[in-house]
Structure 1
Amino acid sequence: MTTWNAWRTAAAVVAVAATASVAACGGGSATTQTAATKAGTVPLVVYSAQGYDSAVTKAFQAATGIPVKLDDDSTGPLLTKIAAERNNPQWGLLWVDGDTAFAALDKQGQLLDYASPTTLTSAGQALVPADHSYMPVSTTVVPALIYNAAKAPAAPATYQDLLGPVYKGLVGMNDPAQSGPTFPLVAGLMNQLGGQANGVSAGENYLRQLKANGLHVYPTNGDTLHALETGQISYGLIQSSAALGEVAKAHKNANFDPKIIYLPKSTLLPSAIGIDKGAPAAEQAEAKKFVEYVLSPAGQQVMQKGDPTGDSLYWPIVPGVSPLPGLPALPAGYQRIDPAYWGPLENQVNTFFDANIK
């Protein structure tokens, strides 16, 4: 049986051959050119963990006529899938939060360099890698500390505060092996405590202390928020968009009043897109069109409408695009971690977390 990857490669070859045939005949008729164009339209396979990805892929398909095959899942399973497909990749485009995953894929030679002509804001430009191996399209921050003001005994001002007895057994976070935003959260914490000069040891020691103080670990944002809602925890360290969405949709009462604070040096968490270097040329061309659509005013509008109490609560990095109403200013004093340094450490950090913190 022909594999999907073999089929899409064959489709691309047919498209190139058809285009060459038209060129050899002096351009051919309009009908022939249209047939060649249709022959070059292969499905764009999108692996994505974005809450608005279904809305965006449908809008892109309607706007361009390019068929899209969406595989929506959490970041961890998608990256596991990509690793398993290393010798026979089935994806054309990856769209997840956090650039550390892309830096690791780039080091493995799996990403196509693509420099978008779209101008970004200064914050956006700071997130573009020097080799253009992936493209940031928006940003959130990690962590936002969401807490139940109706039950929480105090509001922390620093990460060290969370190690105190008043917070014992009341703090929760996601599993970085499953939740895409959480490895950058952990890496950002390690970057503050040890930095590239001293590595992960200080961060590991902090996480051990947090675990000793009763840290709860849940799979993803939704699970951590459910624990907050049901009183299992009073504080959650999660992605800003998930925290803001919880505050926006919560039914506040005497027992539940979610509020958000940002501890010193939140880490920028870009939503980024990478293109499979091993995909056929026709699919790579479609993926580039997808990037430009996402960065266009039309694409940004779909993103902001697709998940209004979730991933749509991002800070735009495209000039002229405003964040959704009610979104606070981007936290001051944020940091951008070096994905080229922290990305390749993801497996090591996640292995440590699995063995010592979960």
Structure 2
Amino acid sequence: MMDGRINARALAAVAAAAAAAVALAGCGASAQASSAGTSSAGTGAEVPLVVYSAQGYDSDVTKAFSAATGIPVKLVDDSTGPLLTKVQAEKNNPQWGLLWVDGDTAFAALDQQGMLAPYTPSAALTAAGQQLGPSDHSYVPVSTTVMAAVIYNAARTSTVPASYDDLATAPYKGKVGMNDPSQSGPTFPFVAGMMNQLGGQSNGMAAGEAYFSKLKSNGLHVYPTNGDTLHALETGQIDYGIIQSSAAAGEVLKAKKSATFDPKVAYLPKATLLPGVIGIDKKAPAEVQAEARQFVDYVLSPAGQKVMQSADPHGDSLYWPIVPGVQAPAALPAMPDYQRIDPAFWGPLEGQINTWFDSAIK
């Protein structure tokens, strides 16, 4: 387990500047597929790179990448849970070339199944970013958020939790909501993080199950994704939401504060570090893998980071960078104290833990 703070970053120049595109793709949006770019410029590639992504800026990034390289991209955007289910269903005949979602636990599990092609990007990462990458280079971290931020409606309550245990006590009864880890990719690392924090790898599952059972007994509400939990907060169904830091920061930025709604954010000890990660399909044709490697380098380039930080200003763009010289958005606080869980241990347990959560807590 590693605690610390992420500092500001700088990057050795990688890719040519690209025109940012339009049309944001929501992190929790329903599945959609679109083509970006043509084969008339750059490499002249005829085979499209199929990108499975749950990032709010993915449409803009894929279009900017195509504009910069001439590589056509077919984007399939959905929530993380359905995308991971799709990847597993296609295990023997993958339809994707590149997967881009938040949370390294899922990638560690895919790596253990031999599904990822290793790649070491040409770009430099900060010291903190380098520590997030696996020793076999099977996937590449490209950003960080934390899970969870506790967002609360200060217009309805003046009680602010100081610990996760507080959320299971009487003042919070029936007032707390969180996402379903089977649907919301960032939420499984939070659940695993609580287990890790409460009992470590030896007793974490039992301790975590006891904790979430206490939350349920205290009236916990479970919603599919960040957006649904935020809607419940906005409409007064709950007063506290356990969500991803980027979604919480975005809600504070865009909220129309009133006498009945005034969102504020608290970070409890300790948040779980949540890397944004890219993996390449090991079974993809060599040409597609080459395109995917170019995509990784583009994302970590100044041009790619610029699109990432501007395309979803009230959502996924609110991340702490791990690229040297790239500054975190002004709307973000300093990185809160965090823990890093071992993705190789917790990743393979995702199916088991999510099944338990949906049967016992949801």
Q: TM-score, normalised by structure 1?
A: 0.88
Q: Does 1:334 align with 2:338?
A: yes
Greater CA radius of gyration, 1 or 2?
A: 1
The AA in structure 2 aligned to 1:242 is A
Is the Cα contact below 8 Å between 1:172 and 1:216 reproduced in 2?
A: yes
| Aligned structure 1 segments of 4 or more residues deviating by more than 2 angstroms | 37-41
Is the Cα contact below 8 Å between 1:152 and 1:235 reproduced in 2?
A: no
The AA in structure 1 aligned to 2:142 is V
Q: Provide the C-alpha distance between the structure 2 equivalents of 1:258 and 1:272, rounded to a whole number of angstroms.
A: 29
**Distance apart, 1:86 and its partner CA:** 0.8
Q: Provide the C-alpha distance between the structure 2 equivalents of 1:321 and 1:41, rounded to a whole number of angstroms.
A: 33
Q: Provide the C-alpha distance between the structure 2 equivalents of 1:152 and 1:183, rounded to a whole number of angstroms.
A: 28
Within the candidate set 219, 225, 231, 2:236 is matched to 231
Q: Taking every aligned residue pair, what percent have the same amino acid on both sides?
A: 73
Partner residue in 2 for 1:5: none
Partner residue in 1 for 2:105: 100
Partner residue in 2 for 1:162: 167
Partner residue in 1 for 2:22: none
The AA in structure 1 aligned to 2:221 is H
Counterpart mapping for 1:126-137 below 5 A:
126-137=131-142
Is the Cα contact below 8 Å between 2:108 and 2:343 reproduced in 1?
A: yes
Within the candidate set 110, 119, 125, 2:124 is matched to 119
**Distance apart, 1:39 and its partner CA:** 7.0
Q: Provide the C-alpha distance between the structure 2 equivalents of 1:325 and 1:180, rounded to a whole number of angstroms.
A: 25
**Distance apart, 1:197 and its partner CA:** 2.2
Within the candidate set 343, 355, 358, 2:359 is matched to 355
**Distance apart, 1:199 and its partner CA:** 3.2
Within the candidate set 240, 260, 263, 2:245 is matched to 240
**1:57 aligned counterpart, secondary structure:** helix
Structure 1, residues 60-114: CA drift from partner, whole Å, max 9, x if none?
Answer: 0000000000000000110111111111100000000000010111011000011
Partner residue in 1 for 2:9: none
Q: Does 1:55 align with 2:60?
A: yes
Is the Cα contact below 8 Å between 2:177 and 2:242 reproduced in 1?
A: yes
Within the candidate set 332, 348, 352, 1:344 is matched to 348
**Distance apart, 1:309 and its partner CA:** 0.5
Which runs of 5 or more residues in structure 1 are unaligned?
A: 1-33
**2:339 aligned counterpart, secondary structure:** coil
Equivalenced residue count is 323
The AA in structure 2 aligned to 1:152 is T
Q: Provide the C-alpha distance between the structure 1 equivalents of 2:334 and 2:311, rounded to a whole number of angstroms.
A: 21
Higher helix proportion? 1
Q: Does 1:202 align with 2:207?
A: yes
Which runs of 5 or more residues in structure 2 are unaligned?
A: 1-38
Q: Provide the C-alpha distance between the structure 1 equivalents of 2:305 and 2:92, rounded to a whole number of angstroms.
A: 34
**Distance apart, 1:117 and its partner CA:** 2.6
Q: Does 1:286 align with 2:307?
A: no
Counterpart mapping for 1:172-321 below 5 A:
172-321=177-326
Q: TM-score, normalised by structure 2?
A: 0.87
Q: Provide the C-alpha distance between the structure 2 equivalents of 1:207 and 1:98, rounded to a whole number of angstroms.
A: 21
Root-mean-square deviation (Å): 1.4
Is the Cα contact below 8 Å between 1:41 and 1:282 reproduced in 2?
A: no
Q: Provide the C-alpha distance between the structure 2 equivalents of 1:199 and 1:108, rounded to a whole number of angstroms.
A: 24
